[in-house]
Amino acid sequence: MMLMLLVLFMLEPDLNVFGPSPVTSAPAFLDVMPARTVESLPLQALDVFGPVAVAKAAPLRRRIQYLGMKSCSGCNWFHRNEEPALKKSGWRFGSEASDHICTMDDSDKEAFDATCDKYGVTMLPAIVLLEDGYSPVTVQSSPAHVINRHDVAQLYNSKRTTPPKVAGK
């Protein structure tokens, strides 16, 4: 058996018999994970003696605002399929400042319409990147493309090329 492994390694030096390589064979969901920063660490950590409570997560500098309607099939598809996949990958949904994604629908029509007007949303669903010191970036769906988890990850993890807003201007 040992001789077979030795011959195998000589013929295929890059072969990993112990499982997929973490560098070359990363799971597909890794590209949709939020950037790992101190703010995005889990609220509970494991100690040698069991779970240890960690302080509440700090507010994030970047957040995604997801806008959709209850009657929109693309919006419902996102909540049914993409949201669970994002949660499984470590994204936090909610209205807290430490959550990655805040969802809003047309339950409160006035607030929803005001938010859509504020960010220039004309097609739903839409996502808006909100970042401290920067103007918001809006990405909208089109009839040919519905917002998915890759769009969310790409927008959230994108590098900003515009300079930050200056207070008072």
- CA 160 to each of CA 61, 74, 142, 150: distance values in angstroms, whole numbers, following the listed order: 13, 28, 23, 18
Q: How far apart are CA 13 and CA 5, in angstroms?
A: 11
- CA 134 to each of CA 6, 65, 141, 158: distance values in angstroms, whole numbers, following the listed order: 56, 15, 22, 13
> What does pTM read for this prediction?
0.63
Report yes or no on 73 lying in a domain: yes
- Note the pLDDT of residue 113: 95
Range of the domain at 120: 62-156
Instruction: Return the DSSP state at 30.
Output: G
Beta bridge partners of 47: 50
Report yes or no on 113 lying in a domain: yes
Report yes or no on 90 lying in a domain: yes
Report yes or no on 38 lying in a domain: no
Percentage of the chain exceeding pLDDT 70: 60
Q: How far apart are CA 149 and CA 85, in angstroms?
A: 8
Cβ pair 128, 100 in contact under 8 A: no
- Count structural domains, the chain: 1
Report yes or no on 70 lying in a domain: yes
**How many residues does this entry show for the chain?**
169
Percentage of the chain exceeding pLDDT 90: 31
- Note the pLDDT of residue 135: 84
Q: In what order do the strands lie in the sheet with 101-104?
A: 101-104, 62-67, 126-131, 137-140
Report yes or no on 102 lying in a domain: yes
Element (H, E) at 65: strand 62-67
How confident is the model over 144-168, as a mean pLDDT? Answer: 76
- Note the pLDDT of residue 141: 84
Report yes or no on 40 lying in a domain: no
Report yes or no on 84 lying in a domain: yes
* pLDDT tens per residue across span 65-107: 999 999 988 899 999 999 999 999 999 999 888 899 999 999 9
CATH of the domain at 105: 3.40.30.10
* pLDDT tens per residue across span 109-143: 999 999 999 999 999 999 999 988 788 888 888 87
Q: What is the mean pLDDT of the chain?
A: 73
* pLDDT interval class at 41 (50, 70, 90): very low
Nearest to 148 by CA among 93, 53, 77, 99: 77
Residue with tokens 């401290």: 132
